[in-house]
A and B are shown apart, each in its own frame.
Chain A
Amino acid sequence: MADASKLRGPQHAGTFASWLSLIGRLGVGQIFIFAGLVKVADPAEVARSIQAFDVVNNDSMISLAAYVIPWTEILAGVLLVAGLFTRAAATVILLMLAGFVALIVNAMNQGKELECGCFGKIKLFCDGPLGRCNLIQDGVFAALALLPLILGGGRASADALGKAKATDPYADYGEDEDEAFD
């Protein structure tokens, strides 16, 4: 088994891990861009969804979150698709997914029948009230986001292109443990 940290450079652009990272980046990145754009177009709907979870009671905080969450989704999604700051963007997405899962589990435990505001009013993968389908959906997104987090930018990523310009393409990438988080 090859050391994943050594598969990040452009010299490994054709490797299996590099393709896996690309699939993860494009998959979850595009979904987050779409989800963010849908929400930005209708922040009132996002605010109502947040309100329904009943975890924040301050209206100003709810309104602010209704704008901040979609824009952060879009930014992280764009960075992931571009492969720029890949690991940091994947971490942001994973943290957001963890938050969504916590909210879903909380709503399910309280027996609340809430609609998923994941994609505004659009039912992309799951219909009906929040439940197991939404947890599986977020689990799949998290698995996709884990790929670039573990493997790095991979094929066709701005991170890899940056490395290629900055260093010898045949340098030993990932020799330094810390470099795995660049």
Chain B
Amino acid sequence: MFKAYLLKFAGILVVGSAAGITHWAVEPPLKLHLDEIADDAGTVVIPSKPKQDTPESASNQDEQTQPEDVAEPGAGSSIVLKREITLDQAKTLFENNLADFVDARPPDKYEDGHIDGAYSVPPDAFYNGTPAVIDFFDVERPIVVYCTGGDCHDSHVVVEQIMLIRPELVRVHVFTDGYPAWTGAGLATDIGPDPLAE
């Protein structure tokens, strides 16, 4: 009977949902977002830019081609960073040397190319203890963790691990758009293994 078929169909959905809801009810809530950072902890003071004498910057000045989306903060200006930061914010931190960058992608992808100066700390690195670099992070200095953008959550996992191991490190951020956005913007990259891994 078609009615019996419909009842069985509905029964499967009901029992499956009941099992799922029961499991959901007994488990602790899933953490879908990192805790938001306090405004004072997220505030970064951008120093005034020193006179740039490099040939590259000189040519930039000649061409007057400073992109509009690049923050060019004045002396003592500041930006307030949320837990997740944008490409522009990551770029500002990088260009002013205000943050340490952490690459949460697998080591082979790191070796193929990474943000210049970034450390390689994939989630797997925490399985065998604390990665050495975690001990050297400065409490006052922001840490920017990135992976491949999109639905890559390795950076979130690494941020959670860092804050679990060293709770005093609160200025830890996720660069949401990740490495593809960085290379897409033509920003500085490097290749090769992490020097700390050797």
Show the binding face of A for B, using Cβ within 8 Å.
40, 43-44, 47-49, 51-52, 59, 62-64, 66-76, 79, 85, 87-89, 91-92, 112-115, 129, 178-179, 181-182
Residues of A contacting B167 in the complex (Cβ-Cβ under 8 angstroms): none
Seed contacts A51-B151, A68-B16; 5 additional CB < 8 Å A-B pairs: A43-B24, A43-B27, A71-B19, A88-B8, A181-B4
User: Known contacts A59-B32, A62-B32, A112-B150; is A85 also within 8 Å of B23 by CB?
Assistant: no
Residues of B contacting A88 in the complex (Cβ-Cβ under 8 angstroms): 5, 8-9, 11-12
Residues of A contacting B29 in the complex (Cβ-Cβ under 8 angstroms): 63
B5 touches A182 (CB 8 A): yes
Interface residue tally for chain B (C-beta within 8 Å): 27
Residues of A contacting B32 in the complex (Cβ-Cβ under 8 angstroms): 47-48, 51, 59, 62-63
Across the two chains, which residue of chain B brings its CB closest to A59?
B32
Interface centre among B15, B17, B24, B30 (most CB of A within 10 A): B30
Nearest chain B CB to A91 CB, angstrom units: 5
Across the two chains, which residue of chain A brings its CB closest to B148?
A113
Interface membership of B191, Cβ < 8 A: no
Residues of A contacting B4 in the complex (Cβ-Cβ under 8 angstroms): 181-182
Bound together, the chains give a CA A112 to CA B31 distance in angstroms of 23
Across the two chains, which residue of chain A brings its CB closest to B151?
A52
Interface membership of B1, Cβ < 8 A: yes
Show the binding face of B for A, using Cβ within 8 Å.
1-2, 4-5, 8-9, 11-13, 15-17, 19-21, 23-24, 27, 29-33, 150-153
Nearest chain B CB to A82 CB, angstrom units: 12
A69 touches B20 (CB 8 A): yes
Bound together, the chains give a CA A129 to CA B11 distance in angstroms of 35
Nearest chain A CB to B141 CB, angstrom units: 28
A79 touches B12 (CB 8 A): yes
Across the two chains, which residue of chain B brings its CB closest to A92?
B12
Across the two chains, which residue of chain B brings its CB closest to A54?
B151
Across the two chains, which residue of chain A brings its CB closest to B149?
A113
Residues of B contacting A48 in the complex (Cβ-Cβ under 8 angstroms): 32, 151, 153
B23 touches A40 (CB 8 A): yes
User: Known contacts A59-B32, A88-B8; is A76 also within 8 Å of B16 by CB?
Assistant: yes
Residues of B contacting A76 in the complex (Cβ-Cβ under 8 angstroms): 12, 16
User: Known contacts A91-B9, A181-B4; is A71 also within 8 Å of B16 by CB?
Assistant: yes
Bound together, the chains give a CA A47 to CA B24 distance in angstroms of 12
Residues of B contacting A68 in the complex (Cβ-Cβ under 8 angstroms): 16-17, 20-21, 24
Residues of B contacting A52 in the complex (Cβ-Cβ under 8 angstroms): 150-151
A181 touches B24 (CB 8 A): no
Picked from B15, B31, B150, B152, the residue with its CB within 8 Å of the CB of A75 is B15
User: Known contacts A75-B12, A88-B12; is A182 also within 8 Å of B1 by CB?
Assistant: yes
Nearest chain B CB to A49 CB, angstrom units: 7
Bound together, the chains give a CA A23 to CA B29 distance in angstroms of 39
Residues of B contacting A182 in the complex (Cβ-Cβ under 8 angstroms): 1, 4-5
Residues of B contacting A43 in the complex (Cβ-Cβ under 8 angstroms): 23-24, 27, 30
B1 touches A71 (CB 8 A): no
